[in-house]
Amino acid sequence: MLKYYTYEKVETSYTVLEVRVGHEDVKICYFTYTEKPVVAISGEEEAIDALISAQDPRTNATEIDQQTYDALIAPSDQVRNIYRQVEYVRDNGGTAEECDALLVSLMDEIGYMGG
């Protein structure tokens, strides 16, 4: 399962609070150079919910839908890098099928459905 959240980075006297991994049963992809910090979290629903409930409430982690997630991360460095990797494969003799497979694989990894 994938769930998507926006959150607030909170600067304290000693640290910066943000969504933190504290649970080895989930995987988090961070998108911090977007309009608003975004995370995609994959794992079992209960593990994701436990991770989010353990966050400092000041981070204001708010679940968002797939469409909002796609719109927020579309201009991110991570998505641009994926397209650069696919272009590199194509420019170095990769077939259309190889490029499509790489694109789908990389987009799947971050839960991005845009295109």
Residue 3 pairs in a beta bridge with 41
Instruction: Say if residues 40 and 69 touch (Cβ distance below 8 Å).
Output: yes
Burial class (CB in 10 A: 0-12, 13-18, 19+), 112: buried
Amino acid 62: pLDDT: 94
> Hey, what amino acid is at 113?
M
57 — pLDDT class (breaks 50, 70, 90):
very high
pLDDT per residue as tens digits for the range 71-101:
888 878 888 888 888 899 999 998 988 888 8
Q: Is the pLDDT of residue 115 over 60?
A: no
**Crossing angle of helices 96-110 and 77-91, rounded to 10°:** 160
Instruction: Say if residues 77 and 39 touch (Cβ distance below 8 Å).
Output: no
* C-alpha span between 98 and 102 (Å, rounded): 6
Amino acid 114: pLDDT: 58
* C-alpha span between 110 and 70 (Å, rounded): 10
pLDDT per residue as tens digits for the range 3-56:
999 998 888 888 877 787 766 788 888 886 677 888 888 889 999 999 999 898
